[in-house]
A and B are shown apart, each in its own frame.
Chain A
């Protein structure tokens, strides 16, 4: 588990390139910085300056090597690498509030942007006009769209929003693709909806697209199965499937947590904390310390948790799968408000935390 501190500022969003040697991230300002891995060091190789507002979403398309960024300036840019320089192309999203999240579709012929204007913009490239065109999904979204995830069939899109609901939309664009086959989400243009008690921060399809899970601000993890899991932690901000049956989620508690999705029992259950710090040696507690604890915390217990013992020192805002895809993930990465990035290795987690079972 390597912790690398990029900046002192929060990392607003990040995205990796195809071979995971470069990372594009936003250091809480109007730019996007691209860092390249040099052994164990990271060097900044590009600065993408075009946005007039904070960049809220970055997605790097692995096959076509294009980066799409969206920001609070209500614009999105598609960047292509020409030689050694990244050149932006403006995409007019026709929104009147900030864009919040962006995601390339699996075939990379379109991307979706969620915004504060209570709609999702699906953008695709029109060859004749050499221009990115966007279509809106408006009904029945009632508030800001916070998170998006595409289904592997390139047509379905799950969106989590501040109106407490997670919905599955059809983002079928007839100019760009043919009609999709039936899925578990309905055979014609399907439309599913799940309600929760808080803003839906993170949403994720499983690798096959048959399962959907989302985290919400009332500290619950819900899935397309009926029962929701009330978590004992602070709200989780991001979630990702790492196998067909396991999810990793992370949030304001600064450590990732494992959940097990059990199709047969129809529930999601808590699997374990994924960041157990090494136990420091137990030293005897002096009488003075006991009184101090009693004064400060009304208990004379021995645990002196001076600071956070997790790797991240502030909320984790984004989680991304590095190796293995969503079906057999072997490494994943988290970035957070402490400006740091941690890469987690699934095998070593399984061996370190003995009762952890990643099914």
Chain B
């Protein structure tokens, strides 16, 4: 009988925004943490000083920022692939607890975007990092609120 001529715009309203009990994350985004220094890391790789390169790339992880994350990830992958298989274990031993956790985060980030040979090296690193950090480090990757 009567047609509903009113607008349907109300269907596009996001009601959850108006819920007063809504959980607002109080993490401050846009932590302008500059990612690891590319030039420094590149030069260390070329020199063959791989342990230093690993430490350098793990310094200043960019947290929660989009573009810098990808750059840091690519850099990380370069460093990890540059290592020889036999040196991986020693490198992992040289890291402290937080370093192992951070390494695990990068490893899982690398798994997300598999490329040519990356998965094989990443898996080797994963095995060594797992024996150093235990399942706890993987749990921390899963529950971490600050993505790297």
Binding site for B on A (CB under 8 A): 118, 142-143, 163-164, 197-198, 217-220, 230-235
Contacts and interface: CB of A to CB of B under 8 A. Distances in A.
A25 to B, nearest CB: 28
A148 B134 CA distance: 29
B23 interface: yes
Contact of B144 (A143, A197, A232, A233): A197
A230 B97 contact: yes
B73 interface: no
> Would you call the interface of chain A mostly helix, strand, loop, or mixed?
loop
B23 A234 contact: no
Interface in B107-148: 133-137, 139-140, 143-145
Given A143-B23, A197-B145, A230 B135 contact: no
Given A197-B144, A232-B133, A232-B134, A219 B23 contact: no
State the 8 A-B residue pairs at the shortest beta-carbon distance, nearest first: A232-B134, A219-B136, A218-B143, A219-B139, A232-B136, A198-B143, A231-B136, A218-B140
B125 to A, nearest CB: 16
A232 B135 contact: yes
Contacts of B98: 230
Interface in B82-104: 97-98, 101
A118 B21 CA distance: 10
A197 B142 CA distance: 11
Q: Which of B23, B135, B143 has the most CB of A within 10 A?
A: B143
A230 B140 contact: yes
> Would you call the interface of chain B mostly helix, strand, loop, or mixed?
helix
Interface size class of B (residues with CB under 8 A): 10 to 19
Given A143-B23, A230-B97, A230-B101, A197 B143 contact: yes
Nearest to A233: B136
Contacts of B144: 197, 218
A233 B101 contact: no
Contact of A235 (B21, B23, B139): B139
22 contacts: A143-B23, A163-B23, A164-B145, A197-B145, A198-B143, A217-B143, A218-B139, A218-B140, A218-B143, A219-B136, A219-B139, A219-B143, A220-B136, A220-B140, A230-B98, A230-B101, A230-B136, A232-B133, A232-B136, A232-B137, A234-B135, A234-B139
B23 A142 contact: yes
Nearest to A199: B143
A233 B23 contact: no
A275 B26 CA distance: 40
Given A142-B23, A143-B23, A233 B134 contact: yes
A142 B22 CA distance: 9
